[in-house]
Amino acid sequence: MKEELLLEVKNLETFIPTPKGQIKPVNDVSFSINKGEIVALVGESGSGKSVTSLSIMGLNASAIQYRPESSIFFNDKDLLKLKEKEMRKIRGNNIAMIFQDPMFSLNPVHPIGRQIAESIVLHKKVKYKDALVTALELLNKVGIPDAKRRLNDYPHQLSGGMRQRVMIAMALACDPKLIIADEPTTALDVTIQAQILNLLHKLQKESGIAILLITHDLGVVAETADRVLVMYCGKIVEEGTVEDIFENPLHPYTRGLMASVPELYGPTKEKLDAIPGVVPNPLELPKGCNFVTRCSYATEKCSQNAPTLLKHPSGNRVSCWYPLEKEGERGHYETAATSFS
Amino acid sequence: MKQQPLVSLKEIKKHFPVGSGLFGKKDQFVKAVDGVSLDIYPGETVGLVGESGCGKSTTGRMVVGLTNPTGGEIYFEGKKLREYKAKKTLGKNLQMIFQDPYSSLNPRMTVADIIAEPLVLHKVGTAKERRKRVDELLERVGLASYHGSRYPLEFSGGQRQRLGIARALALQPKLIVCDEPVSALDVSIQAQILNLLKEIQEDMGLSYLFIAHGIQAVKHISDKIAVMYLGKIIEYTNKEELFANPRHPYTKALLSAVPHPNPKMRNRERIILKGDLPSPANPPAGCSFHTRCPVAMEQCKSIDPNLLPTSEQSLTACLLFEEKVAN
């Protein structure tokens, strides 16, 4: 059975002018999300993952400029070509977003019940009173105890985990097809993180909502995602199913990220295999592959020509001249090149 | 012969007054730290884990004297911390690295001045010697001497954390309290900083009190680990024991909540705690964990368990074990 396509990002390329010159936070990124799928977008700060999500939501449109070839198709509509008025019908209605810090994304001077009901009234033709009933149902659904009393609570009266649940309830208010969750658990404690991830999983299973999960935590990815996109310096460097990515990472950066996390299970390593160096300045990206300055496998070829994202026989898509072999050894370009389709 | 601990905490408490009653009488307290005892020996790393609000940072701040305990006593090399007349002796030996490398470095000072400041305050060396020492320190933390003339603004988060480490090392302290030193950093940079801290320890033989909520990092660096919940240590043991054989139900839940890096382990049995951390201003009676504990018994609501030995190396505060110990 073929999965139904929900969102398709094609050749997304963005520019942001800065006093020191123009930067390209997202550079020719293409990916798709199917209905009911959890896709994780992994990367460190500056990798372009948040700009990608803002582009899908049409937020911060005044600061971000797009290359004309870029497109984001959702339900056969190119979101980048929509007028703000049309976009407003989709935003919050079909695509909703959850942010990292729920304290700053909730209005501190209104009770949470009212904030949830408001978005329902805005998108659907219902009375405020009925919307409030729906809000109560939603709060119950996301597991807020004693929800009826909580309707009149203000955000500051809730704990971090509770506020994130309220944000999720608000995102669910109009039965969205896609939720973009930007680091939804980063600000939370581990035991609360486990609760929230559990909730997201439940929602996806019960309501068939697709989730684009933006995170830097590989543990969260392994625990939640179906498919994984790894971004570095504005480009997708590897893409694959969660099993393939974790079992057989092809890109040296993906493997480096995994080796950087100390093991919780099994013996402690004397030294972590850290990725040397830092993410390059977006104004001075290296020629050739962006990862060349930190890659221990790099050759002359890597510093001259940038690789493109191609399908590898193992199933992943990878952007590397020398995709890694199973044991973490450098692959051979010749063999890899011929087997690429 | 048993070694003397470098730093020893004896039943330390920190109660912050909140609100005021009649005539400004303070009648309510947030018990941020409520009776913590801990020994740190020379050359070892003690990890302190727990969720936000459990009092781990306050404990760290009390150890370096940034805030004074409201009860109990802290000993440094066998002598009470508050009996040190010359505070400088303490400053020389106890240093701290902070979580946020953006707000813990003065933006108007050059890097060289920041790192030299402790040396200037303690009147160590001449200006020339200090400059040489700064260069050494910069090199030690993986930066170069030409970085000295720059300002913190010009550095990335990981590099700033390196500057914080260089400043802490300047006086060759015996203990560094590391308060969440890697949690604000990117994954690939976290590993670099953890490696650096370990290398420095091997070179200089100093001790760390490593405070973090990221259990993986704590496991990587610590020899012994104390788990805190609502101002109290509920389990204290060496690293191997904690991960192989966690005893306290909270420790078990905490370990099981950490996402597993193998997608195949997704359907493993996990303990998901219900509810939130209770407020430390109004902690539950009895065992403070009983409101969320999956195995709570009736007597947990009224009896506060003591931290008792449950094996040669381990201490656990749970009624489940108190009975076993008694029998």
pLDDT digits (tens, 9 = 90+) for A166-182: 999 999 988 899 999 99
Q: How confident is the model at residue A215 (pLDDT cuts 50, 70, 90)?
A: very high
pLDDT of B86 = 74
To the nearest whole percent, how much of chain A has pLDDT over 90? 50
Task: Provide the residue ranges of all domains of chain A, joining segments of one domain with +.
Answer: 254-339
3-class SS of residue B4? coil
pLDDT of A335 = 44
**Mean per-residue pLDDT for A238-263?**
92
Put simply, the answer to whether A216 touches B187 (Cβ < 8 Å) is yes
Put simply, the answer to whether A260 touches B190 (Cβ < 8 Å) is yes
The tokens for B253 are: 């839940």
* CA distances (Å), origin A307, targets A9, A317, A336, B177: 20, 12, 12, 45
Q: Is the pLDDT of residue A192 over 90?
A: no
The chain A residue lying nearest B213, using CA atoms, is A189
pLDDT of B326 = 60
Contact B41, B3 (CB under 8 A): yes
Beta bridge partners of B71: B13
Please state the separation of Cα B261 from the chain's center in Å. Answer: 25
pLDDT of B312 = 85
In this prediction, the residues of chain B whose per-residue pLDDT falls under 70 are 1-2, 19-27, 324-327
**Dist CA B58 CA B305 (whole Å):** 22
Chain B closest-CA separation from residue A144 CA (Å): 9
The tokens for A30 are: 């293409």
Put simply, the answer to whether A193 touches B198 (Cβ < 8 Å) is no
**Mean per-residue pLDDT for A171-195?**
89
Size of interface A-B (CB pairs under 8 A): 130
The torsion angles phi and psi of A48, rounded to 5 degrees, stand at 100, 10
pLDDT of A332 = 61
More confident residue, A266 or B178: B178
pLDDT of A124 = 87
* Sign of CA pseudo-dihedral A276, A279, A285, A289: positive
* Sign of CA pseudo-dihedral A255, A6, A14, A106: negative
The whole-model pTM stands at: 0.87
Contacts of B230 in chain A (CB under 8 A): none
The chain A residue lying nearest B51, using CA atoms, is A189
Question: What pLDDT, in 10s, does the model give residues A301-318?
Answer: 999 999 999 998 888 999
The tokens for B186 are: 């990117």
**Dist CA B68 CA B322 (whole Å):** 32
